[in-house]
Chain A
Amino acid sequence: MFRKIAGYVPLSMIIFANIIGYTFLAFREEPYNSHAFLMCFIVLAMICISYTVIIKKRFGESYLFLIVSMLLSIGIMMIYRLDSGLAVKQVIWMLTGIIAFFTCYYLYLKIDKWHKYYYLYIVAPILLYILTLVFGTTINGAKNWIIIAGFSFQPSELNKILYVFFLGSYFKSRDKLFFQKSNIGEKNKIFMNRVLLMFITYLNVGFLALQRDWGTIAILLLVYLFVLYIFSEGYKFLILNCGLLLPTALIAYKFFYHVRVRVEIWINPWEDILGKGYQIAQSLFGIGSGGFFGTGLRMGKPYMIPFASTDFIFSAICEEMGTLTGVAVVLLYMLLCYRAFKIALNIKRRFEKIVVLGLILLIGMQTFIIIGGVIKLIPLTGTTLPYVSYGGSSLVTSFIILGILQAISRGDFSSEGENYG
């Protein structure tokens, strides 16, 4: 009996946090805003129903969804405070995301041999990139949006997952994905495989550079290097890749105005405070004005931060809920990573192991890049804060990732299954 209740303690904390937050939001207006309670109820209903399904149907790892629920709650609360219309949209995206979560969960378990579709993971992103370049629209300086029927989404979000699946297929049987039947000799085969791996990686990077999506480039390359570190044989290939990236980064710095500007702003945003340094300065003002405990919801001025509900939502959270809440959010991501890494450590099947690691690295690196950016720890590159920022494609993609992680945590991948190596 006690165990049963204990299992629901984290959930009750989420419920508690939501009720407090929305009560606050409701009574900061006169006359009080009943709309906020409706909002609270819908969000909590979705979380509780999904969580009950996860527990009752024995989905495996139950903490992943709880951590994500907390992040989502904080995000929607902040978005609601900034723009209640946007929050309603975000709730619809949340519903879509949860549907995607369950769909991906079942789909992943249903189709067993995902590594067989590696050609799809190579071709589909390229098609999507070309589609974006042709039909894409530029929003906030990055041409990575496609608008269909007033409905905008970022294909690069999906491409990140496809790229991780490709890495999984490649390292499942290391350096043996291509040229299996050709007779060019064992050494040449490995060499050619590695060349192709690099080529596909840099092709992704190249397309992203054309779209000026520097944030995603950084995320992809970091994931690539970490996966190389873990799954590549020896360190030579990793060092070679690092060695190649360094001069490339320098060249990018020298020849791409956008890259240079970002570094310059990072070094001294105060020089051009009303121009290029405006965004980061406003973000820091927000964090500074909030202090450790925050001004309280609706009592600060986070709307002065540009893109407060998307890229800069972390600063808005810090302003009104305090730096301590900011730290708590970071810790939630750390917990999420920890749980996912634990899953990765327990699986034996290589493809799944790589996919879990790749996906959680995607989330982790994205978090680091955007939070580090808005607090001026590293140069700012625009990307969303997973599960927290407003944004349909970002949220749905993040839920797809969660669905796959959930499936792998549940699935019976602990046996070796087949040989590799």
Chain B
Amino acid sequence: MDENKKIIRVLVAMCSIFFAITAYLTYLQIFQGKKLMQNVYNRRNSEIEENTLRGSIFDRNGVVLAYSEKSGESYERIYPYEALYSHVIGYNSKIYGKSLIEAAYNGYLLGLDNYSQVFGMVDRESRGNDIYLTLDHKLQELGGNLLKDKKGAIVAIDPKTGEVLALVSKPDFNANSKWLEENWVSIAESEEALLLPRATQGLYPPGSVYKVIISAGAIEKGLDKKTYEDKGKVVIDGYEIKNAGEKALGNIGIKEALAASSNVVYSQIGVELGSNQLKRLADRIGMNRDIEFDIPVNKSIFPYDTMGKNDMAAVAIGQGEMLFTPFHMAMLTAGIANGGDVMKPVLVKSVMSPEEKKIKDFKSNVMYKIMEAKTADIIKDMMYEAVENGTGANAKIEGISVAGKTGTAENHLSEKNKGGEHAWFIGFAPVEDPKIAVAVIVEHGGSGGGVSAPIAKRIISEYLQSIEKH
């Protein structure tokens, strides 16, 4: 009977619908379950939080950077170094929520992954997991002191492992919730953008440090064998480009040009490379791309679609419209130091259970390649020259070979008054066997060689001394 056939078809349809529900439920549980459970807005966690001793956060050597203490009925989060880690660890407030590591590792810190939770022993008093960061507290503290009241950022990375050794952003704020909650409005509305983690989310024009990247393109094209005539200024497409102080450097190759930071030579190289190669270069080093990291990192911006000759010249000397985060710049510096391989940056080294068992161990691997090892070797040598006999002389350390590059990035403020440029320095040491790569920026600090290079020098020598001792 035809009708019964149709009825069976409808029955099959109904069964498929129920099957779809079952399948979706299973999918939900397997692929989203954990995320849903640990979601910051899942109030079950805040109830769990009341009964859970949130895990502590340590530096790489076991210095306590954050811990929880019972105060009355609930726990209070305490940051013994107050503001120093406000742009790394973030804050943990009942009213304003959580940020950075406190937010990203909330599940671990509350121990939501523990089996006790899965099997429902929720209302038992429990302890979360501890987190060990890759940061070196001594280095971080030194960085904080060196920047002090200046605005800016310091990022130090171990080039071989991708471990972040220091991540300083200034200005910062006291992250202890009592202070935070009392001053929230003034913090949030401050003109200095106190809540902005400058190292990872601040965007700056790179200035002359970008010449290092351009050098890679130049070497690949064989331009390192060429000599250029530097008269102190050059006109490209009706637009005059000058060296600092209009200094004429004579007949030089790119090695000397980088050491002296010649705008005349590099703007010409930019035009020789051409729009396509410049864009490919920017793409290769990860411009406009998300960087996967333990805390959010802004994309560096390369906004050009079509480039005129003066755009090419401007980009080559780092004065175009492109913008970098200090963090990205440090990664690239580390990449050069590591023979062209950029390691995936790591901030959280390991997670330890309350029973001192290692739950998670974060290992790095190569994230992407920015240049061939051969090219990197030539650039290392050029950067060494820039510190030894060039603009980066202030970063020289006795007995250690340092490679680096200064940058003095023009911005809307520096157009009006001299000395308002952003001061950059990137560098690494020792050149033969790089142990640390650094990027320093001081907002409106003036010249990179004068302001940022000495800061980088202190960071590098402090770190190398400390690992010598160990």
Contact = CB atoms under 8 A, between A and B. Distances in A.
Contacts of B6: 229-230
Nearest to A292: B29
Interface in B1-29: 3-4, 6-8, 10-11, 14-15, 17-18, 20-22, 24-26, 28-29
B34 interface: yes
A371 B118 CA distance: 24
A408 interface: no
Contacts of A60: none
Given A289-B42, A295-B120, A364 B25 contact: no
Given A288-B28, A301-B47, A341-B11, A281 B3 contact: no
Chief secondary structure at chain A's binding surface: helix
Contacts of B43: 285, 301, 304
Interface in A273-294: 273-274, 281, 284-285, 287-289, 291-294
Interface string A313-333: 000001000010011001101
B41 interface: yes
Residue from the set B6, B15, B17, B37 with the largest chain A CB neighbour count within 10 Å: B17
B77 to A, nearest CB: 23
Given A296-B120, A301-B47, A375 B36 contact: no
A74 B66 CA distance: 45
Given A285-B36, A330-B18, A368-B18, A300 B8 contact: no
Interface string B191-220: 000000000000000000000000000000
Interface in A360-394: 361, 364, 367-368, 371-372, 375-377
Which bracket fits the contact residues of A?
35 or more
A338 B11 CA distance: 7
A375 B3 contact: no
A344 B43 CA distance: 47
Interface in B31-61: 32-37, 39, 41-44, 47
A230 B10 contact: yes
Chief secondary structure at chain B's binding surface: helix
A288 B21 contact: no
A299 B120 contact: yes
Nearest to B39: A285
A349 B381 CA distance: 95
Contacts of A341: 7-8, 10-11, 14
A230 B37 CA distance: 44
A364 B10 CA distance: 11
B20 to A, nearest CB: 7
Contacts of B18: 330-331, 333-334, 337, 367-368
B34 A357 contact: no
A16 B21 CA distance: 27
A357 B21 contact: no
A284 B36 contact: yes
Interface string A113-134: 0000000000000000000000
A304 B44 contact: yes
Contacts of A287: 25, 28-29, 33, 36
B40 to A, nearest CB: 9
A231 interface: yes
B36 A345 contact: no
B223 interface: no
Given A288-B36, A291-B118, A375-B21, A273 B7 contact: no
Contact of B41 (A273, A318, A333): A273
B122 interface: yes
Contact of A295 (B21, B32, B122): B122
A307 to B, nearest CB: 16
A226 interface: yes
Residue from the set A293, A323, A331 with the largest chain B CB neighbour count within 10 Å: A323
Contacts of B24: 372, 375, 377
A288 B22 contact: no
Given A291-B33, A304-B43, A357-B10, A327 B25 contact: yes
Contact of B25 (A281, A323, A333, A357): A323
A229 B20 CA distance: 22
B26 A323 contact: yes
A337 B15 contact: yes
B21 A337 contact: no
Contacts of A372: 20-21, 24
B120 A288 contact: no
A229 B42 CA distance: 44
Contacts of A296: 119-120
B125 to A, nearest CB: 15
A3 B41 CA distance: 54
Residue from the set A230, A273, A289, A376 with the largest chain B CB neighbour count within 10 Å: A289
Interface string A223-237: 000100111000000
Contacts of B21: 330, 368, 371-372, 375, 377
Given A285-B36, A368-B18, A291 B29 contact: yes
Contacts of B32: 284, 288
Given A273-B41, A288-B35, A341-B11, A323 B3 contact: no
Nearest to B12: A341
Given A229-B10, A345-B7, A334 B15 contact: yes
A37 to B, nearest CB: 22
Nearest to B2: A230
A9 B119 CA distance: 30
B68 to A, nearest CB: 22
Nearest to A295: B120
Contacts of A371: 21
Given A288-B28, A288-B34, A281 B10 contact: no
A299 B119 CA distance: 9
Interface string B228-272: 000000000000000000000000000000000000000000000
Given A285-B37, A338-B11, A357-B10, 6 more contacts: A287-B28, A299-B122, A327-B26, A330-B21, A341-B10, A377-B21
Interface of B: 3-4, 6-8, 10-11, 14-15, 17-18, 20-22, 24-26, 28-29, 32-37, 39, 41-44, 47, 118-123
List 4 A-B pairs, minimum CB-CB distance, nearest first: A288-B36, A299-B120, A295-B120, A285-B42
16 contacts: A274-B41, A285-B36, A285-B37, A287-B36, A288-B32, A296-B120, A299-B122, A301-B122, A323-B26, A330-B21, A333-B18, A334-B14, A337-B11, A341-B10, A361-B10, A372-B20
Interface of A: 226, 229-231, 273-274, 281, 284-285, 287-289, 291-296, 299-301, 304, 318, 323, 326-327, 330-331, 333-334, 337-338, 341, 344-345, 353, 357, 361, 364, 367-368, 371-372, 375-377
